[in-house]
Amino acid sequence: MKSLETSLRELRATGRKALVPYFVAGATSDWVRHVEAAVLAGADAVEIGIPFSDPMLDGVVIQNASLRALELGTTIDSIATDLSSIATSVPLIAMTYYNLLYHYGLERVAGKLRECGVVGAIVPDLTVEEAGEWRAAADASDVATIFLVAPSTPPERVALVTSASEGFCYASSRMAVTGSATDSVDVTRVVKRVRDCSDLPTYVGIGISTPQQARAAVNVSDGVIVGSALVRVIHEGGGAREIEQFIGSFRNALDAAGGES
């Protein structure tokens, strides 16, 4: 079992609902201070988006942040340098696309990520069937590979995806790219399909943009991922103080939900 999964299973055993904020690495010069603020406010892990020019899963908010990061010269090497200076002990999880990993070198990038504290990776354009080379490289560096389950994923494929996932299973709440959502999310059905075939910690993401949505999601799941809404706060000029307040509101909502269960 990867170290990430051990940590997240231990967290679940305490009854605490996991809060995982998402940041686009390099979108601002002080982005690592934003990560530290989120952890101070109660984040249990942090998802680090490695910017890519053609992010197929990401909506306009994260796309724009990724382009800003690339314009500022952000690379895997610069991200590793930044993360090496970070003062936090929570798990870090990278999110990016296979093209970047492949061109950097699978073994090289897995080792580079692990050296700077990254213990998991979400690669949304990499299928289970095509993930063998990446998983071998990730295994050698104790980097967990996390796959996604969508509302459209049939039960037999959910079983395949969850058996391949490490750390946690990423349950997409809706059929869409990342972004804030006002429509009803399909959380219960997606999480139930995961629960039917796996006891892997299951976190809900894509469309979780308010504390109320997060609270509803953890009534059936083990945690939530908050991405575009947080990236928007930063885009609108929010600094460490605003991020701490924003993440704190989600922490309070999740703690209230945990107290009801």
Query: In degrees to the nearest 10, what's the CA dihedral of 88, 93, 98, 100?
Result: -10
5: annotated active-site residue? no
Q: For residue 81, how many other CB atoms are within 10 A of its CB?
A: 12
| Residue whose token pair is 């609108």 | 236
**Distances from the Cα of 147 to the Cα of 88, 144, 190, 241, angstroms:** 25, 10, 14, 32
User: Active-site residue among 5, 36, 44, 58?
Assistant: 58
47: annotated active-site residue? yes
Contact 166, 195 (CB under 8 A): no
Residues written for the chain:
261
Distance CA 45, CA 39 (A): 8
Distance CA 246, CA 37 (A): 10
Could you tell me which residues are beta bridge partners of residue 93? Answer: 47, 120
User: Active-site residue among 5, 44, 47, 244?
Assistant: 47
Just list the catalytic residues.
47, 58
